[in-house]
Each structure stands twice: as C-alpha cells, then as structure tokens.
Structure 1
Amino acid sequence: MDLKKKVKYHFLCSICLEVFTDPVTTPCGHNFCESCISKHWDTSVDYKCPICNHMFTPGEVLCDVCTGTKHSKPLEVFCKSDQTCVCLMCSVMEHKSHQLVPLREGCEEKKVELEKIEADLQQMIQKRREKLEEIRESVRIRKDAADRVIAEGVEMFTALIELVQRGLKELMEKMEEQQEAEEREAEGLIKELEEEISELMKRSSEVEQLSHSEDHLHLLQHFYDDDDGGEEGDVQFAVDVTLDPLTAHPNLVLSDDGKQVKHSDVKKKVPDNPERISCYFFVLGKQSFSSGTFYFEVQVEGKTTWVLGVASESINRKRNISVSPQDGYWALRLINRNEYLACEDPRVILHLKCVPEKVGVFVDYEEGVVSFYDVDAAALIYSFTHCCFTHKLHPLFSPCLNDADSNQ
C-alpha cells in the first residue's frame, strides 16, 4: 500500500471520504465522523458498522477517537509501523517493537505528507493540462492542413467529374440513338415472329383437337357398332358407373339403383364420414381407375347447370378449394343454361355449336388425357391434355342447385 493510500485509510472517514470531523470509534474499532455515522444509522433499520457489518444495540455508545479506546485510555501515540493511533497501554503491550511517536507529532507529519502529496498532484495535473493543450493545438494544425488538401482535391475532382460527365453524356446520346434504332428493328422482327408463332399454335391446337376428335370419335363409333353386334374387344373401355352414397353431399338425393342424382333443399342427416364431400354438391362414382382407359356417358338433357368429369381420390372433401387440375379435378361446367366452361385455372370459355343432351367422358390414364364429347353430335367438346395422374380417379357428378325445380 503506498503512502497516499495509507494516509487516506487512517485519517479519512470511509463514509464522507474527508478528513475526520469530530471523529468517533465504534465498539468494533472503526472510526467515522460523528455526524456521518449518526446520519447513516438514522436511515438504517439495524445498527451495523458500515465497514464490517458488526451489529450493535441502540444502547452501545460511540467513543471519541481521541479520548477512549478498548482499554478506556486516550489515544496518545501514533504507530508508524501499523499506521494507526493507539493508547499508551497498547503501545507497550502490542506495539512495543514498532516505531512510535506522539499523536500530535504523527498528525503533523501526516499533515506535511498530505500537503506534499497535494502539491505533487497539482504539479502532475498542470503538466497534463499543458500536454493536453499541446495535443489540441497539434490536432488543430493538422485539421487545417487536411481541410486545405481536401478543398483542393474536391476542386480538382469536381472539374474532372464535369469533364467526364460531358463526355459520358455525348457517349450515352450516341448509344441511345443506336439502341433505339436496334429496338425498332427488333420490335418489327418480334412482331412478325409472334404472329407466326400464334398462327402455328392455332394450327397445332386445331390439329391436336382434330386428332383427339377423330381418334376418340372412332372409339365412340365402335361403342355404338358394338350395340349392333360389333367386335367385343372394343367394349372394354365402356364402364357401368354407379353413384357412391358414402361420398354424396347431404343435400343430394340418389336413386335406388345409383344411376341418378338430384339436389334437394332439405339437408339429410347422414354420418360425416371421411369419404363424404361436404364442401360442394358433388358425388363420386363407386368405381375407381388407376390405369388404362375408360369411358362413360351422362344424360344432361334439360339441365340449366351441372358439373361433370373425374376427380382424384386425394381431393380435399371438407374444405372449399378450386375445382381445377391443380386440386385434383378435371371437369366441365354448365352455367346459365348455355355457358360452358372448362374448369382450368383460369377457366376456359367454350363456344359450342349445339347444346349437348348426352355427354361422353373418355380417360386415358397413362397418356394423361380427359376428353368430353357431345355424344349425339359425335363432336369433341374439350380435352385436358398432359395431365399427371398420381392417385385413383373416380367419375364426378354434380346436379347443382335445383333452382326452384327448374334445374331437374
């Protein structure tokens, strides 16, 4: 411990950190200003020493540092070895081998030491202030020099930028003129190519539809030829579809033979089993297909609205979703008596030459094709192509709302 710290430890109050004023000592042997320790205890619940936390009773009395000690003797001697004030008895018993001086002499020595320390500190402070001012002046000089360099650099850089900007502007104007000319030429070529592509796509669509129409029309003709005694092998594509009551919406009424369905305003009390469709007025066929080709026909004569097609076994049957291939539906829809839509995303408006009374549905699972036909006119209505089937397919039917019995 250096001298300054020793002096501070023995002659400064640990509460106010100043030289003792009316010093007193606690029974545990620690010294404080009388006013400091009194204020400390006035704001405390317990009587504790601020240094060692020794507990006192309210009746215990503080002793004057200079008049009372643990031997009930005044403090008359200062031990330089331990840097503490002691009574004469302690000096003989406990500090007899230490360097001892009268208390007043010790105080005077400490006062001189404190004054010397204070003078040294003031000298150190002054030197550091002078050094601080030198640093500040150096920083100011360097900043002025840097500001001059920056100003000259900015002036030169500004002139260079102006020169570059003028050259860049001229270059950009020439490039823009050239680009505009090239864009005009490219736009002309693009327009010609787009017109050619549009025409080719139109031809491709017509050829594809014609191909499907001719192929499946030939298949339909075989079906009808079979009714007249045609080849038995062609009948394997036609299936006998029966409606599945376990999948029917509660507002749908099925015939006893499972061949007809209509909408009722009265909702039936039926079990909400996992198979039942509760989001739309739909019912599925009992039959399912996961390979090969199949064909079935549906009578729609007199209907003002309906939905017809196939659905994946994996469709969400309890929540409203889009009726589109993305959600497992490949279907046609009639609305407002004569508006036909293919349920693509977005919807495709169909323009039919005549109103179909019987619709045929043909599915080729491996080829990913679902085609709809006007059976009586032997004409293709629409084909979903390039489909990707990953689950079993079921025939799908919806009579839609009965519309006050006008849609039966």
Structure 2
Amino acid sequence: MSFWATFQATLHAVLKDQGVVLLVVIAPIIYGFFYPWPYAKEQVLQVPAAIVDYDQSDLSRQVFRFAAANPKISVRALPSERAAKEALWRGQIEGYMVLPAGLKRDVLHHKAGHVAVAGNGSYLLLNKSVLYGFAEAVGTVSAGIAIKQFSAQGMSAEQALIAAQPLKLHTKAYYNISEGYASYVVPAVALLILQQTLLIGVALFVGTLVEQQQSQVRPSAWCGRILAFCCLAWLVMGFYFGWLFTWQDFAKGGNTLGTLLLIVLYAPTLVVWGALLGLWFKVRERALQVMLFSSLPMYFLSGFSWPSEGLPSQLQAVRWLIPSTAAIQASVRLDQMGASVSVVAPYLLNIALLGGVGFVLLLLVGRHSAD
C-alpha cells in the first residue's frame, strides 16, 4: 500500500478499535480533567497539630494564639508530650510543639528560650506545613518580644522595629506563583501520561497487526502508520498545552513556538517506540500488562520528583533513554518558565535522537520481518 493509502487505512482502523482509541485519545483527556482534581486547593492548609504547654504563662498562651491563627495548621492543646506522641502515632495529628516550663522566665532574664517541634516526616507536604506554621508563630512572638526590649532601652517604635529585624527578607515565587502542589506536579506528570497512553495504544495496535500477520509492510507504509498516530497525538497534546493548562490556571511562560516544536518531536518519537514494543511483544494485551507498571519508575528517573543527582550513576545515564525524561525538562522550561529554544536544545536533541534511532530500528525490523 502507498503512504497515503496506509495513512487513511491506519486512521480508519484506529478509530474503529475501541481499545486503542480509549488509550490514545479518551484516557489522556480523562486524566487531564481528573488527575489535577485532588490537588485543586493547591496548598495544604489546616493540618492537625498540637501544642503541649508546660509553661502556662501569658507568653506561652500568646504563642498558642498565633499558632492557632496560622492557616497552615489547626492547633489543639494536649496535656503532655506523651499524649502528643500517641496522637501522632495514631494519625490524629501531624506534628506538635512543646513549650517548656520556665519559658517566660528565660525570656525575662534575656536568655534564649527553646521550644521543640516534632513532625511526621513520612508526609513531606504535611510536615512542611506543620514546621512552617509553628516557625511563623514563634518567629512573630519573638519579634514582638525583641521590639519591646529595644523600646524599653529608649528606642522609638521605628528604631526598635529596625533593630529587631535588621535584615528584611522579601520573597517572591517565580513561575509557580501560588506555590501550589498541582502547579508543580501536574504539568510534569502530563508528559508521562501522554507518553504511557500513546506507547501502550500504539503497541496494542501493532500487536494486533502482528497477530493478524499484517505488520510486514514497506517503509513508506510504516511512515503512513506513524503519521496517522501522530495526528491523533498532536491533537491530544494540543488539548493539554493549548487549553487544559490554561483552564487549570497553571503558570504559563509563553514560549508557544518552543512548545509546538517539543510536541512535533515528542509525538513521533513515542509512536515509533510504541510500534517497536508492539513488534517485540507480538501479543496485543502484553503491552498493557508490561507497560502499566513502568510509569512510576519512569517518573522517578525523570529527575523531577527526585533530584537526578541522588540517583546511581548508571541510572543517571539510562534515564535519558526514556523520552519523557527530556520532554519533562523541556516542557517545564518552555511552557512554564518561558525559556528560549536554545536553552532546551539539548533536551529536544535527545528526543529527536531517540526518535531517529527508533525509526531506523523500526524500518530494519519491519524489513527483516517482510523478508
């Protein structure tokens, strides 16, 4: 069959195959709507925490009030540290702060007061909210005490404020302005979702062709099949980058041309490797069975959720053989940070090389099978 005839036949066959359409088109769209949903609030607020007050002074009660007013944590009082530990073990709280006896006495004698904070390190986001919430409460009270001490020495209110805070820290979040978890994780995971659904969908289709002994075609026919899948993949990727991320109010860097270049390279690379997997597995369902469990390792290897420097040296090299690794790095820089194409050129080159190698292998394997 000619290039265009194969293209039309493949597109028609794909649209008739409910399993392939579900994976290549419908599943990514469903993921796009429902995956960000649990993270809609972006930030973790009102994390349950506790304060053990052994001092029972007006100072310790002031710390409690400031902690209770912090939106990051929801504070309750517990009678002892043992009770706080038991509540932490039972999952009733995610952290606690101990205000020791004699805290106010130490402050009045110009000694450093010490408070202890414990958090559940098993859940990083919850632990961060607890630690930050208590730190902000103690820091605010400490600044107030310092201002009163400087005022007692004869300083004006403005001088006391400057003396208490000689260095002013102004923080500004770039790109992820809301500092939310969804804005951080969803745009990166989206590239992995697109990869896995497309790889499995193409492998299913090619596996069916192998079972029907129709996979042995000329290079021009393979090009037609690749283009047919690419057209569907480009539409889905355009849905993600063109509408979904904007609708979810994720950060947009504005390098639209660079993002389009990424999409143009990413889709055919995934299609050719999906076809190779289909030829390798030879059985339609095997692609789903094998590839379904590879998503999480691929995400960790991408260097996004876990620093790549923390990976063994062997994995640091192997991870670049996975298209999503370079695609995630390029996508975040182009679509969220507005980086230029020259900045992400190494990542785009990596995707292009994977696609080129996969295309040559596909033609060689297809030709060998045909012979």
Q: TM-score range by the shorter chain?
A: under 0.3
Q: Which has the higher strand share?
A: 1
Larger RCO, structures 1/2 (Cα 8 Å, 6+ apart): 2
Q: Which has the higher helix share?
A: 2
